[in-house]
Amino acid sequence: MLYKSEKALASICRQGVALTPDGTGISKTLLLKRTAFRHEKEIRLLYLADDKEITRDGLLLYQVNPTVLVEQLMVDPRLAENEAKSFIAEIQRETGFSGPIKRSLLYAPPKGFETRIKEL
């Protein structure tokens, strides 16, 4: 991934993307992301496939070891805490995944931003 500032990404968009016969011009845009997401350490696999390599269902099949590829899983932050714990246990039981599995706190209020409602 190439992490860029919003200003740099806007500049790239203004310059335009080369429409190359092999699709690499447009494909490179799939490797751009805002700097704010650098912590995700995201990996994207882009592969230009020969039609013979694609299955009848339109899939490209390849071998991958998910225990090497995936370091951590995050479950939906909208799950209640008990639902998240149950779901995490199910993932571990069904997949044998031994890495950290956490409930995202994406929608959690920042500490100190909780308030009480007073009666009038």
Threshold 0.75, pTM exceeds: no
Query: Mean pLDDT throughout 5-28?
Result: 86
Parse the chain into domains and list their residue ranges. 1-62, 63-107
- What is the per-residue pLDDT across 30-67, written as a single tens digit (0 to 9) for each? 899 988 888 888 888 887 777 777 888 888 888 888 87
Q: Within 10 Å of residue 66's Cβ, how many Cβ atoms? A: 8
Longest Cα separation, the chain? 72
Residues 81 and 105 sit within 8 Å (Cβ to Cβ)? no
